[in-house]
Structure 1
Amino acid sequence: MKGFFKKISLFLLLLFFAVQAKAQFEGLSISPEAKISLITCSSGDDLYAVFGHSAVRVQDPSLGMDVIFNYGTFDFNEPNFYLKFARGKLNYKLSAAHFQDFVYSYAQDNRSVFEQELNLTPEQKQKYWLFLTNNYLPANRFYLYDFFFDNCATRIRDGLEATFPDQIKYNLDYLDKNYSFRNLIDLYLPPQPWGDFGIDLALGARIDREATPYEYMFLPDYLSEGFENATITQNGQAVQLTGKQVPVFVQEPPTEQPFSLFTPTILCWILFIVAAVVTFLNFKKGSRSRTFDFILFFAAGLLGIVMLLLWFATDHQATAYNFNLLWAIPTHVVVAFLLGKKVLPTWVRKYMAITGLVTGILTISWWLIPQEPHAAFIPLGLTLFLRAEYIAWFEKKKELVTAKA
């Protein structure tokens, strides 16, 4: 609770300074001594902060100005905020605040802040300043956020390229590691096992295509690296766009996280062991655990409904073509209620046999599908396969006994 109030107070502080900064830009030109820099912030503890952050600093000592332009903010007062966020229709915006307050907020969260000054001529600085301040106008500051293709990092890259068309060249061949978008975000997710699990469940095959080195720059760290290995044309000559990172604030070493058994993969393996024991006992007793089956298949079906809604009821491009729907089948929600009954209709037995077989085949041959699964899917798929096929076998056996009688 203390951390929550700290984040709210820092947000309100930055909001206050953003309002104060608004009137400062009207008709303002920066001096030749002004400095414009790329700011890169390190990962945070929360899932939304784990990928880092990018912003632009404009510092002009002659004007007494030191302001940060930040594309990673949104308005909590926007109507239907949470519904728009869930549906991928939430507008993010470019905000401006005093740089020291920006750094203070990241220092409070123990997140490092690094700076790379852009190597621009006075004329280029003024031109990019005009781009930023024009982008900051109320009519221009809002944009429809996309995590992979239109975010706080790509907005800076694309804005600089729009200001200086065909003048910026990247040397990114060394970054070509055949990473997919999923591989790239997985680099940041070891401290967030449940976040990793949720992302792999929710995001479909679109993020499993190989990303180009240029596309790596949707991540702040790769944007910083890309700028360091880029050139900009000045007077017909290509010069280095930025230098190396200079620390503004360096975080204290994070405390080592203790090993935890409470991870999706371990818990799913425990679930499989429980399912195997339940199935063995059912087999020995000639029975079926209806409550266990109801909970298992209802949960799988509920997950499937969420995935289906993320695919078809939202504007999130990354949630489309989600092959997890081959095991998290939405119709399981309806069938789960029938599984709670003592006598099952014949069609339910056939349904379980078919869906169980599909899940089993999927579990052992996922590599044939263009979507990388989470490691927890293996025990999860085995659990669903085992119980589905046991239900089908048990009900078939009951039918044969009844027919003989």
Structure 2
Amino acid sequence: MKGFIPLLLIVFFVAYTDLLRAQAVQYGDSVEVSLLTCEPGDAVYARFGHSALRIRDAGGRDMSYNYGIFDFRTTNFYWKFLRGQTDYLLGVYPTEYFLAEYRERGSVVWEQVLNLTAPEKQKLIDLLNENYRPENRMYRYNFVFDNCATRPKVMVQDALDGRLSYESAYAADTYRQLINDYISNDAWLYLGINLVFGASADQTVGKGGASFLPELLRNDMQRASIVGGAGDSHPRPFVKSTQMAVGPFATVVETTPWWMHPLFISVVVFFAGLALTLQRHKNSRTSKLFDSVLYGLTALGGVIIFLLSFFSEHPLVDANWNLLWLNPLNLLPAILIWQRKARKFLLYYHSANVLMQLAAGVVMVLQVQQFPVAVFPLVLLLLLRTSRRIKRLFTQLLERSTNGWKWKK
């Protein structure tokens, strides 16, 4: 039964879309407009919650406008998702189906009835009907700047006879801080997201910038007023009333066990590398294997970050200083460490690489970009092992002469 409601919703949505494809949704008298806010769920895609618009009339028509519809069956969906080229679309269907999904999931849904005038409601309906036309309903999804929460806000703002005014409680927070609040209990998800985020994630969101997170949008809208509207001599509260549409539910927050936490594991790996560095036989096969795996894993992480930073449309992933230590080119020493003839090249490579690792340390100290604490032992380990490799190669390949150092024959 767990997956029945979402499956039913998809089937219904496809059928309902075909039915409404050539016609706009019409409403009778006494229209009421609400902002629905769904609290976060356990799945990764549900971690940040969801928003939708609800429109109902006295005649019983009750529809939800959901900008969060996507189809896994789309050609090359996962490749497009990695590149930030996922297209979402507006779905319109009875609110009972929308609420049923979150009721089954165990997520609370809040409803804020908006304090709109009759002309504003009609304009919003017209805008939504236009947006629901087959040629308009699809849009390029952007997690921060164009998503299921920002779209309803923009549609309502465009329908107002006046402007929305509010003091956001989150204007001084950074994108990284706001997002981390939703993932801090999952240490591995926290690590992954903070590794792919670049320096732009540490910018403050400013006024209205927190609206991409549904719960924060709800909180800001609760304090908002409509000003400058015709016939409004005073600011008009944006929200008329608030109630819980689904819930409440008992919540259990699961956290990552300490022995599976990335910080604990990185500390263990650091001390393992330190032990290898201090052992008597410093060029053992075990030591080489350790470094080969270490460089290989950092190269893999670097390739992912490099592709996201330079070849994707995802927000907040550019200017990523993690590339200083998660170097994609570390694949070279991971392989060439086993090749005796490559020692001279590796000496040059490690000499350049250790400078990049030192630069990563400087960036961390100066807080040019925020780094997860779990990576600190790994950066220190890389610096330690790379310095040890340089010293070893230097003594193997160079000798002192009367004119200084020269290559051994």
Same fold (TM over 0.5): yes
12-21 vs 393-402, which moves further:
393-402
154-163 vs 246-255, which moves further:
246-255
Q: String of CA shifts for 1:8-34, please: whole Å, max 9, x gaps.
A: x43321122223444359254322322
Amino acid at match of 2:291: D
Amino acid at match of 1:16: V
Q: What is the Cα deviation at residue 149 of structure 1? A: 0.5
Gaps of 5+ in 1: none
1:263-278 alignment runs, 5 A limit? 263-278=261-276
Q: What is the Cα deviation at residue 265 of structure 1? A: 1.7
Q: 2:92 aligns with which of 67, 89, 96?
A: 96
Is the contact between residue 293 and residue 340 of structure 1 (CA under 8 Å) also seen in structure 2? no
Amino acid at match of 2:302: G
Aligned to 1:16: 11
Aligned to 1:45: 42
Is the contact between residue 344 and residue 395 of structure 1 (CA under 8 Å) also seen in structure 2? no
Corresponding residue SS for 1:207 = helix
Is the contact between residue 54 and residue 153 of structure 1 (CA under 8 Å) also seen in structure 2? yes
- The 2-side partners of 1:49 and 1:162 are apart by 27
- The 2-side partners of 1:359 and 1:27 are apart by 59
Amino acid at match of 1:81: F
Aligned to 2:166: 171
Q: 1:326 aligns with which of 319, 324, 327?
A: 324
Q: String of CA shifts for 1:237-258, please: whole Å, max 9, x gaps.
A: 4311114531112242223536
Aligned to 1:280: 278
Amino acid at match of 2:212: F
Q: String of CA shifts for 1:333-379, please: whole Å, max 9, x gaps.
A: 12210113356422312321331243134225414353211111211
Amino acid at match of 1:51: F
Is the contact between residue 29 and residue 126 of structure 1 (CA under 8 Å) also seen in structure 2? no
- The 2-side partners of 1:394 and 1:88 are apart by 44
In the alignment, does 2:361 pair up with 1:382?
Answer: no
324-333 vs 12-21, which moves further:
12-21
Q: How many residues align?
A: 395
Residue 168 to residue 362, structure 1, CA distance change in 2 (3 Å) = same
- The 2-side partners of 1:97 and 1:174 are apart by 33
- The 2-side partners of 1:35 and 1:139 are apart by 27
Q: Percent identity at matched positions?
A: 30
Amino acid at match of 2:148: C
Q: What is the Cα deviation at residue 40 of structure 1? A: 0.3
- The 1-side partners of 2:276 and 2:62 are apart by 65
RMSD: 2.3
81-90 vs 48-57, which moves further:
81-90
Aligned to 1:249: 246
Is the contact between residue 87 and residue 141 of structure 2 (CA under 8 Å) also seen in structure 1? yes
Is the contact between residue 225 and residue 237 of structure 2 (CA under 8 Å) also seen in structure 1? yes
Aligned to 1:212: 206
Aligned to 2:394: 396
391-400 vs 332-341, which moves further:
391-400
Residue 379 to residue 244, structure 1, CA distance change in 2 (3 Å) = farther
Q: String of CA shifts for 1:201-223, please: whole Å, max 9, x gaps.
A: 11212221111031111111111
Gaps of 5+ in 2: 401-406
Residue 98 to residue 40, structure 1, CA distance change in 2 (3 Å) = same
Is the contact between residue 324 and residue 359 of structure 2 (CA under 8 Å) also seen in structure 1? no
Q: 1:222 aligns with which of 198, 216, 224?
A: 216
- The 2-side partners of 1:40 and 1:367 are apart by 39
Residue 367 to residue 93, structure 1, CA distance change in 2 (3 Å) = farther
Aligned to 1:131: 127
Corresponding residue SS for 2:211 = helix
1:310-389 alignment runs, 5 A limit? 310-342=308-340, 344-363=342-361, 365-368=363-366, 370-389=368-387
Is the contact between residue 143 and residue 314 of structure 2 (CA under 8 Å) also seen in structure 1? no
Residue 98 to residue 292, structure 1, CA distance change in 2 (3 Å) = same
Corresponding residue SS for 1:6 = coil
Q: 1:57 aligns with which of 54, 59, 62?
A: 54
Q: What is the Cα deviation at residue 174 of structure 1? A: 4.3
Q: String of CA shifts for 1:147-194, please: whole Å, max 9, x gaps.
A: 1110111101111122226x1222215444x21111110111112211
- The 2-side partners of 1:124 and 1:325 are apart by 49
Q: 1:6 aligns with which of 2, 6, 22?
A: 2
- The 2-side partners of 1:182 and 1:221 are apart by 16
Is the contact between residue 17 and residue 98 of structure 1 (CA under 8 Å) also seen in structure 2? no
Amino acid at match of 2:175: F
Q: String of CA shifts for 1:114-158, please: whole Å, max 9, x gaps.
A: 100011122221221111122111111111111111011110111
Is the contact between residue 268 and residue 380 of structure 1 (CA under 8 Å) also seen in structure 2? yes
Q: String of CA shifts for 1:18-72, please: whole Å, max 9, x gaps.
A: 234443592543223221100001111122211111111112231x222111101
Q: 2:175 aligns with which of 171, 175, 181?
A: 181
Q: What is the Cα deviation at residue 6 of structure 1? A: 3.4
Is the contact between residue 56 and residue 62 of structure 2 (CA under 8 Å) also seen in structure 1? yes
In the alignment, does 2:184 pair up with 1:190?
Answer: yes
Is the contact between residue 343 and residue 393 of structure 2 (CA under 8 Å) also seen in structure 1? no
Aligned to 1:199: 193
Corresponding residue SS for 1:188 = helix
